[in-house]
Structure 1
């Protein structure tokens, strides 16, 4: 069964609306029948017995002949008042359940769109109360998250295909050269092939880590940790590489006495290593790198500062984007996957902190600041 609205749209009766309408009408009808039975049949008899018990038997006997007239008048009054009331209640019930049916139909249609891969669909509130508003809000939030995940996936695949092109082209070129006898399979060629394979392996590992972190699949094991100990470990791990490049690296600590803070030691060590390795790649021989840990009552702050190439104002807003390189011409030989900073930012945010970058400009170094509140919802 269907009807046509004033706007020309065809609206169909849903099975749920029909069932709810029939149930509500049955409730109203039963209620009206009970009122009629009570007023017409039970009421006069109860009044008669009350008069008898109160000692007014003569008056009660005189009222017997009026019961039929009372019943007739009461029945007529109930019919006159009850049928319009039933009709109005039916109209209100129809309007309510029609609204509910439309809202549920919109949710069903939107869910079908999401199942088909259209994550841009949204539903509007039916103004039926906070429960429906909360349902609409939750559905829209779910669709938005799915849209973001799908966008990330597609962009990730495009970026991955672009990044794999260079090492694969290098491998293909050298292998073809070896087959044609143009390139000798010596130590130099083997080193190039191994370097490209290592680059692909690191790219695959980093892309897996970033995908897991961005989609909230990375499990954080937050336990009380000494933040200064983590900083010292990260500096000690990179000191040999820094010494080999002729770069001075130091760890400083300021503020209050060191107290534990809820952190994931493995993920935090990974972030600090990423930031220090990034600083080392961009710092020339003779430069300096400092990891400064500030212990405040409300937060712990790590700041990695280098005296290297610096970051231009145009590039600064993009440094945490996947595969972004401020100078692609000079970055290709450095072995980075272009994902370290993106992974670091995501891991820090997963622990309730923030990561931001600052630089005075090219040639004036850069700083990466991690801010970790001591009191966090997930801490």
Structure 2
């Protein structure tokens, strides 16, 4: 048994491991197909390098629309290229994946500061305004720019909180060159700076001098890139540049004056963006992930799951678990996938290690082996004691209880059982005595219920008998076909026959068999409307379609249905308002609509009102007539179902509409 359990556990563990490896592959593929993952694929060595100084990354996009704040934010956040700094600032330095987008370096990020101070036109001193200083070092050269913040004429904007913010341009000049009235700006240097109107701390008042979040977007012209594009052989352009990892970029945001920068990209402690090395956290010990570019011979990255401290395990159990036969256990676990990016396809190979399943199972078996052995010994001793002391008595009690079950299925009362030999001071003896007492009480209750049911049935027999005799006399007195009373006496006779000899009204109605025959519904409803005063319904208006509408129905039962609904409509209508009876039909069915003007029915009650015993007066104890006992609409639905039709209620036009549907002949 123990070997069988271990084999089954090994098989389950192997299946779970295969399923887990498949899920791991799906997680890795999903992350790499996202722009964040494609950024990591396009920059495979970025994860192992320091964030200071910053180096451009290759974006999974051809370029960035740096003039649009929303598009820039979406691009850098979706690509996941932002480097996060401890003070809450962030920065993305990147190039597009298409060299023909211009060969620019993009810088986008945010920082928190007080209200921005713009550079005034004609002021040659940039130190009195907020400004950005950028430097790029590559291929033995260094380019530097200084860009003061200049508010545009339409620079005011309204942030999400409703407070006004600032929007302006970062105008680029060559840094280190004296600024005169004739100094020209760098033509291809483009930059924007937006400051929110709300405070970075949501609890602060935007009207106060609080720190506010500012977002910038800068496009740097790189002459080396542009020369390669416009002067070289375009067929031989290599993109991204092979020395992209040697390009060093630094950005500083300076406040007015000569103080420390508000933000410096060379600050220590920055958190780098997602890299391929981060996928190692998804791998279990022994698993290996290899990523290479399609057609290449070298891997871009090889990741191995980190080993954990192994739990102690018995050698004999370890060897036993390894030798347990499991189908398909020796087959290598290797999953492959291909990822398409804008710069080519990448192949993934995820290899599993089933030895971890062995080690885990052996460690678990080692921990529980002593406990299981002691438990089995205790179970054996307990079984012997239970067999001698309890099982025999339980068997006897079970057999005697089975006789009770057979007696319950018979027509008589419960059989009496003798448990005198099973009584005692222990739990089983108390249970046997309690069972005997319980069965005695159940038997008494069952006999009382049988007597009550028989009394009710006898009562219905007596009531029916007392009504049948005078009713037959009335039918003899009003037997003429043209006598208006004859129709209602026949309906009364049918109702008595339905209830006569039944234990309850609901059972009587449900067991009734109707006599269906062809019926002109238009003529029938015209007769009902003409005699509505006879049932106490005044001002009933019938809208006839002017043509015979034939259905199959029991005339008297259908008249009961319509009468029940009319009485409900009469009781709940606005005094003096009419009740409308309308007949519509199509090729398949006829629809009778009864509409009154009055209070609507609660939505929760539109279906419940057709249940037996549901009435608006049920809580008041008013049972003076059948409408107040919750019986009329139950009868209506029961009869309609037996005639193959339906009845439903809905609220409409300041009142309630009951719709009766019958299939046409």
- Structure having the higher Rg: 2
TM-score by length of 1: 0.40
TM-score by length of 2: 0.24
Name the structure with the higher strand share: 2
